[in-house]
């Protein structure tokens, strides 16, 4: 055997927990389970659809200045046209509460999957009888998983936004990103192995040396 795969492609389904998924449409919104770049300190939010640390939408739990109670609510700054159904500090309801808890659980669970999968793939390279072939497959798998998660996530977010901006955006983006990560890993792994096997089995024949005609040498600038 050239090397076995101890971790299934399913581990790449955890990628949405650690990447930012760019959303199509106006602005530079991105879906993520972590605060955007520049955010200082911890956040009580678990879901972010934001352009930067000031503008965008996030799902929060804590004291709501609008309802004067502790609840699950949306915080929105700008992008009123992108989320016309959501006002700043609007209660998120039962769907928002379930989405908040799911996002928090997946953030840790998905990150653990990625770490474990990467470690198992590293072990598979070390223990493979053909480490170069296996490493080619692993690098291709994770590269395609990253591309697949981001691309499919963007598509899913667009579909979800058409159903319900905000919650639908997040659900569609994350579900599609999970599928895209898994499919990308599987496709990249197989492509990497195929390319390696093609290169290993291909025999390159050297060209026959041909002398340069004398008249062409005269044309070469000195």
Q: Rounded to whole angstroms, how far apart are CA atoms 102 and 174?
A: 11
Evaluate whether residue 161 is within a structural domain.
Answer: yes
Evaluate whether residue 220 is within a structural domain.
Answer: no
Evaluate whether residue 4 is within a structural domain.
Answer: no
Domain count of the fold of the chain = 1
Q: What is the pLDDT of residue 218?
A: 66
Yes or no: say if 63 and 70 are a contact pair by the CB < 8 Å rule.
yes
Evaluate whether residue 131 is within a structural domain.
Answer: yes
Evaluate whether residue 210 is within a structural domain.
Answer: no
Arithmetic mean of pLDDT over the chain: 90
Evaluate whether residue 208 is within a structural domain.
Answer: no
| Tens of pLDDT, residues 145-192 | 999 999 999 999 999 999 999 999 999 999 999 999 999 999 999 999
| Tens of pLDDT, residues 58-73 | 999 999 999 999 999 9
Q: Rounded to whole angstroms, how far apart are CA atoms 130 and 126?
A: 9
64, containing H or E segment: strand 56-64
Evaluate whether residue 214 is within a structural domain.
Answer: no
Given a cut of 60, is residue 222 above it in pLDDT? no
Task: Classify residue 27 by its DSSP letter.
Answer: S
Which neighbouring-strand residues pair with 64? 69
Given a cut of 50, is residue 94 above it in pLDDT? yes
What is the three-state SS of 132-161?
HHHHHHHHHHHHHHHHHHHHHHHHHHHHHH
Structure confidence at residue 5 as a pLDDT band (50, 70, 90): very low
């Amino acid at each position: 055997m050239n090397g076995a795969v101890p971790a299934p492609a399913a581990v790449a389904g955890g990628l949405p927990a650690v990447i930012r998924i760019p959303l199509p449409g106006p602005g530079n919104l991105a879906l993520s389970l972590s605060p955007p770049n520049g955010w200082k300190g911890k956040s009580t939010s678990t879901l972010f659809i934001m352009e930067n640390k000031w503008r965008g939408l996030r799902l929060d739990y804590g004291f709501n200045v609008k309802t004067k109670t502790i609840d699950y609510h949306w915080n929105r700054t700008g992008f009123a046209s992108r989320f016309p159904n959501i006002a700043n500090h609007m209660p998120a309801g039962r769907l928002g509460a379930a989405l908040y808890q799911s996002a928090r659980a997946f953030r840790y669970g998905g990150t653990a999957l990625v770490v474990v999968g990467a470690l198992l793939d590293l072990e598979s390279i070390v223990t493979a009888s053909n480490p170069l072939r296996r490493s080619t497959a692993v690098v291709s798998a994770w590269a395609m998983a990253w591309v697949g998660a981001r691309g499919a996530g963007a598509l899913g977010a667009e579909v979800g936004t058409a159903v319900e901006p905000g919650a639908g955006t997040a659900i569609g983006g994350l579900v599609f990103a999970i599928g895209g990560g898994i499919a990308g890993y599987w496709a990249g792994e197989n492509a990497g192995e195929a390319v390696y096997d093609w290169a290993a089995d291909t025999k390159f024949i050297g060209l026959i040396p041909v002398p340069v005609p004398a008249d062409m040498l005269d044309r070469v600038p000195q």
